[in-house]
Every structure is written in C-alpha cells, then in structure tokens.
Amino acid sequence: MLTNIKSNLEAFLDKKNFIVIKTDKKSSFTINDDFLSAECVFCQNNLCFYHAYYNVDVNNQYVIKDEYGQSCILQIRYFVKDDEFDKLFYYDKDDLGATYSIEKTTFKLWAPIASQVSLHYQIGDIEKEVIMEKKERGVFEVSVYENLENALYYYKVNNNGVINDCLDPYSYSFNANSKKSAVINLNKIKEVDNSSFLKEFKNINDAIIYELSVRDFSMDGSLGEDVKGKFSSFLKHDVYTANHHKIGIDYLVELGITHVQLMPIIDFATVNEENIFEKYNWGYDPLGFNVIEGSYSSNPSDPYARINEAKQMIEEFHKYNIRVVLDIVFNHTYSFIDSIYNKIVPNYYYLMDENGKLSNGSFCGNDIDSTRKMVYKYLLDMCIRLVKLYNVDGFRFDLMGILSKDLIMDIYDKCKKINPSFIIYGEGWDMPSMLPQDKRANLNHANQMPQIAFFNDYFRDVMAGKTFNNYSYNQGFLTGNFSLYLDFIKAMRGSIEQNCYFNSPTSSINYIECHDNYTLYDKLKIIMPDCGEKERNKAQLTCIAAILFAQGIPFLHAGMEFNRSKKGVENSYNSSDDINMIRWNLLDENEKNVKAVKDFISIRKEFMCFKNTNRKVILNSIDAKIVNETFLILYTSGLKIVLLIFNPTSVRKKVSLNGEYYIYANQYGYLKKDDVTHSKVEVSAYGFLMLVK
C-alpha cells in the first residue's frame, strides 16, 4: 500500500487526463517511471506550477517523480467534479450498504478513487478486518459468511495515500454517538401501519401544519421524567395540566391540526447521545443523511431502538389522523473535512469552484452539490427510504434553494407514487451558493415547481414585521403599520398578484413564527412596548387568525397559540432547554388563546372559501376595502358571504356594514350564536371579527 512521501512535490488530477504539479524547483518528471511531458505555467513565491496531459486510469495509482529524487502520489482532486467522472463511475443499482441475511452479509461501498478499502466489523469485543474487492463503477464489495445481525462496522478508505475511518453512508443505524455503523436485519423492524386511520387528503391547502421539536415537546417533565426528549413521549396519553387540560399528543389531536412537522430527527453532530443534558442543538448540524438521531431513542447504543421508536411515534400520529412531515437538512453537513462523505470521495459531495473554494450559501461552511449524479441519487434514495421505512407523509427542506429543482421534483414524483398524500415544501431563499441560478429550487422558480410549496416571508413581514436582530422593531400591518394595507390584501389572497411570489396559493406556506427568530410573543414585546399584555395578546390572536383565514397553507409554530416565549432569545439553536422547551402549564395561563385557535382551525375546515386553489376565482371572489381605519375582506363562498374585519390600530373602532350580518367569531374564537343580525359592529384595538350572511 502506497502512502504519500513527504516532499515539496505535489501532483493533482483536476480534469480528465489533466495533471497539475506543484514543486519548489524547476524540474522534469516521470509518472510510474514513464517520461511525463510537463509545461511550467508560472513560478511564484518559490513555487513552480506545471501542467501535463497523460492518459490516467483512475482505477490505478500513479507516482510522480522529479529529477531530484522527490516523489509523490498523483492525487485525484477536482476531476471528481467533472461530468466525465460521473460518466465513468455512476452506479445505478440499489444495493449499496450492508445487505443482510442469516447466511451472509454483503457490504458495498461506492469509493471510486480509493486505492484500497477494508471492512472492519465487530461482534462483541472481537474486531476483524477484511480487504474489499474493487468492482464495477468504483464499488468495493465483500461478503462475510457469518450471521452479522447487529454487528458494528466501519470502513478504512485509502484515498490519495490518506487512510480514513468511515461510516457507511447507506447504513440504517449507528451505535451511540455515531462511532460505527450497524448491520440491521430489516425483517426485525417492527411493522406498525396505522395509515387506515388517516382520512383522505387530496389538496395541500387542506393541510394545517404544526412545527415542533421532539426534544422541546417533553423536556419540561410534564409527560414524565422517563420520556424527556424522547420519541416515546408521543406515546403518552391521558396526561393533564393542573387545570385538567390535555397535554402531549392528546393536545395536538384536540387542537385539530392535520400535519405535524418534526424538526430534524436525522442524525446530528453536536448532541451527546449518551448524555442529552450536556448540550442542546436543534439538529440543523447533520452528521449524515441516512440514520435517525440516537439521542431521541431510549437506548442510543441499541441500533434498533432509534428505528423502531421513530416508527412507533409516526404511527401514533397516524392513529389519530395526523400526518407527519420530516424536516430534511440536505443542504450542508456539520463538517467538510471530517464528513462521512468527504472521507469516502474527497470533494465530490460538495459545491466548490475550479480552485477548490467551497460554496457557502448555507453559511455553515459548505454546501452539498446535488448536481453530481451520485449525490443526486443518494439524496433521492434516502428520501425514498424514509417514506417506505418510516411511512412519512412529507418533507420540509431546510434551505431548499441550495438544492437543484430537478432533485426536489424527482423526490416529489418518486415519493408521491409511494404515498399519494405526500407533500413537499421548503425554504426557498435565494442563498449565495455556487449552484447556477437557473438550477436552484428557490422562490424565483416557484412557478416552475407548482407541486412544491415555499415558506412565504412576504406574508410574515406584512402581517407582523420583518425578523432578525436588525429588524427587531419592524412592524407589520396587524402590529401597527397601517401603510401596509395593500400588501395585506395581497398576502390574504395567497400572494398571487403582481410583484408577489406565486401563481397559485397552494405554493404559499403562510407563517409568522417558526423555530427561527423571535417567537411572536417575544417580537410583540419589542414592537408594541407601549401596549399592555391584553392588547399584545389580541394582536397575537389576530395574527394567528390571519394565518388560518388567508389563502394558502397555514403554518403554526408549537406553542404560539399559548404565548410561547424564548425569553427574548432571537436564535435559540444551541440555547438551553430552559429557553427552548415547551411549558405545558402555559395552557392553563392562556386558556382563551388555545380555545380561540382551536376555533379558528375548526372554522377553516368548515368554510371552503378559505381554501381556494384557482387564481381567477380568488381575485374575483375576495374583495377588500377600508372603513374607519379597519380593513374589511369579503369572501364570496357559494350562497354564503364571509366578512373578515381586522383592526390594526390601538383604539376600538365602529364599523358600518353594507348589509346585515351575523357575528360568527372574534379574536377569541366562536361567539355565541344567535338570530340577531348587525349592520354596525365594534372591533376592539388590534382585534378581529368574522361575520357571515
């Protein structure tokens, strides 16, 4: 086995048959003892750079020597980014990873530039090493004729003379803290399919999405000390607050949401799985894309526990007619140098320029390159696995604009065939990545991707004000900036008009608060400092009413309906549990708010006028005008007319109506129904009314 010889000579294969040599003195060269014709292109700072062309077989190893006796291995560097590389090594079969049977387990690893790969597997305390054979398309393979169920393993991969220990990017599970991959007998994965409990779901705008973190959901201890931060907390039923309000999954069922969006549950890097109290992280720091996070399981050392417990949690939601969306972080990894992927095929998985400078549109130090054929296939394979193995109902893609349109659409098409109710939405921000503009799955291309929905920051900014620290004091229409009234009607119509994002409201995820930035409760404290708690609370509920009664797809962040606070922390991704956790006792302190949001959800389901999909129908059937500084939105829905009145001012307003209406709801939800109609009404400061005739 050759390793790099320490010298002042380096040589790189950067394109097909194109070699770059870097040395400290002018020289002539040989390659595997053959003369190499090389041209000196420039010398600078005691370094000389040569270019040479040579017919290189990537499956072989080459040694470059100069006339002074220095030598080095030819390193395959940026050639992996060349389309020619994909032509040579694209592997289209679906058998990578460890394929288990009682008689044998076959291991396959795609490592096309590696000179040698060895498998190291462990049963009990005994570890064995087996050299793998390089076969077609750069795949190393070996079969071990033993029963290796639950065996731990890793690969030693020699790339360019550097040997690294590598996890298996296709493995189904790891041991604690992702030190080794595990051989899994898929026949022993518990099959629980509660999809029969799910009611028919056809249109994405029928969804009411609720975002939560597995960890935050149970860390206050209300669901039991034994399930703090665990998947199993979602299996707890019949648990109540002091005032006898249901908590946990029972609360979510009673709330009436249709989809729960789980913040990342795919393996992340910075939480100690054996001591979760040591450090907090949201999980947007992925170690890899193939294994469930171990800290959420009851036993991270048991490779089966995280799989089975994640499945049980998802199926528990299905049992109560709640679909599950997973937050997928495919745009970057926690580390570039130490990543699973870079150790196996250096440079291949990451966006970079021709000089090796990494793309950093994610602002995490690296961006995944979804234009490479094996990266594209790998990400698609992992999505298909999640849908098939875990029965998930959709994906929310973090920084989706760093990934390619083609990949996102392919994931949607493939997963939709498996699960007809499948949905995809994501962050469509136009990040400064090296992916060409025309390939990005971002908001600029939303109308080229009509099946995909996007987080609508226009809606957020118009309703409550822009976020981030430098916009802390920015107000929206419903929080005091009356000048945004024209934008307000556009947002309520689904952001489908001129200078807005979309052709259809089904592309719009309407949100005001999510895991990022301030909670709405904390934001209102900043932008409405002269208002009392009662006025801010009405503004909070009126904002939520706007989310649920606008055209598009409503999105709620866990706890915003009971005034969740993060104690003023704007970006709590690695703050403590004390900052991030849901406090279930807030249900008792904010009973009226919870009742109101339950009512809003019920009203949205009752009235079809809030779920239009046709652009022309929306523009022709939703009218708006200003009366006495309040904003009236008129929905025509069959034989019914629905009137929404929003008062974004700090004083109570009287409004004369064009006709007689029944009062249906205000910012606190349903009002007591009677037979009295009204031609004049009063709307409280920062309040809301819904009327019907």
pLDDT digits (tens, 9 = 90+) for 615-666: 999 999 999 999 999 999 999 877 789 999 999 999 999 999 999 999 999 9
pLDDT at 639: 77
Share of the chain above pLDDT 90, in %: 93
Is residue 2's pLDDT more than 60? no
Task: Provide the CA 667 distance to its chain's centre, in angstroms.
Answer: 32
The per-residue pLDDT for range 223-268, each reduced to its tens digit, is 999 999 999 999 999 999 999 999 999 999 999 999 999 999 999 9
Share of the chain above pLDDT 70, in %: 99
pLDDT at 640: 85
Coil vs helix vs strand at 280:
coil
CB 50 within 8 A of CB 20: yes
CB 528 within 8 A of CB 535: yes
The per-residue pLDDT for range 94-112, each reduced to its tens digit, is 999 999 999 999 999 999 9
Is residue 178's pLDDT more than 60? yes
pLDDT at 675: 81
Is residue 3's pLDDT more than 60? no
Banded pLDDT at 4 (limits 50, 70, 90): very low
Banded pLDDT at 1 (limits 50, 70, 90): very low
Banded pLDDT at 7 (limits 50, 70, 90): low
Tokens of 404: 């390619």
Instruction: Calculate the CA dihedral of residues 315, 317, 319, 321 and round it to 10 degrees.
Output: -130
Average pLDDT, the chain: 96
Is residue 39's pLDDT more than 80? yes
What would the mean pLDDT of 267-276 be, rounded to a whole number? 96
Number of Cβ within a 10 Å radius of residue 211? 22
Strand (E) positions, 322-440? Answer: 323-328, 394-397, 423-426
* 22 Cβ neighbours under 8 A, 6+ residues apart: 9, 10, 11, 12, 47, 48, 49, 50
The pTM of this model reads: 0.96
pLDDT at 471: 83
pLDDT at 261: 98
The per-residue pLDDT for range 453-503, each reduced to its tens digit, is 999 999 999 999 998 778 888 999 999 999 999 999 999 999 999 889 999
Instruction: Please say whether the dihedral angle defined by the alpha carbons of residues 471, 398, 366 and 406, taken in this order, is positive or negative.
Output: negative
Is residue 211's pLDDT more than 90? yes
Q: Is residue 319 within a helix (H) or strand (E), and if so which, with residue range? A: helix 303-319
DSSP 113: T
The per-residue pLDDT for range 491-535, each reduced to its tens digit, is 999 999 988 999 999 999 999 999 999 999 999 999 999 999 999
CB 415 within 8 A of CB 422: yes
Q: Which of 427, 461, 522, 561 is catalytic?
A: 427
Look up 254 and say whether it is catalytic: no
The per-residue pLDDT for range 317-348, each reduced to its tens digit, is 999 999 999 999 999 999 999 999 999 999 99
Q: Is residue 587 within a helix (H) or strand (E), and if so which, with residue range? A: helix 586-589
Q: Which of 398, 487, 513, 599 is catalytic?
A: 398
pLDDT at 370: 98
Look up 353 and say whether it is catalytic: no
